[in-house]
Amino acid sequence: MMQKASSVLRIALVLALVCLVSGILLGATYNLTWERIAQAEQARLTAAFAQIFPHAELKAKNGYYEALENGKITGYAATAQGKGFGGRISIAVGIGGDGIIKGVRIISHAETPGLGSRITDEEFLRQFEGKRLEELRLAKEGGTIDAITGATISIQAVTTAVGDKAKELMELLTEGMP
């Protein structure tokens, strides 16, 4: 019986040591790479906003960006977060000074390849352009956004996140636009 307890203790200690070493290595890897990961995410975000507002200078504010052309605010941009089937979806949303969606771009996602990942298709994303806040619902709910078969959760997540962020940006429009 003593030998069995000793064997279990030895296995537990080896397992604890493996977990400790793995945790230290994982933490060290994160510390070495977090800055590059953040820079890559910022580069994707900047590229997405440049696609939405190609002729504007973007000025970072607290949680959003002002789109400036010739020194005048022509719209706002921000990131929206949605919870898709595969996890978090990060979305760039831009709204013009007239309250109309200028564009939507997917920054990152973990959706299923071939199904949910179709949220990145231009055909899907173009559906948001030129729409007002009240139109940002799926067609089956009386809105104007067509779903993609097999990607219902992902599509709903993007549509809801874009609508929520557009509502926030509309509040900025009513407060800050001349």
Print the domain residue range for 57: 50-176
Residue 7 located in a structural domain? no
Mean pLDDT by 10 residues, the chain (178 residues): 78 94 94 90 90 92 91 92 92 93 93 84 92 86 80 89 93 71
Q: What's the predicted TM-score (pTM) here?
A: 0.79
Residue 16 located in a structural domain? no
Residue 27 located in a structural domain? no
Residue 136 located in a structural domain? yes
Residue 65 located in a structural domain? yes
| The total number of structural domains that make up the chain | 1
Q: In 10 A of CB 9, how many CB atoms? A: 10
For residue 80, which of 96, 61, 66, 64 has the smallest C-alpha distance?
Answer: 64
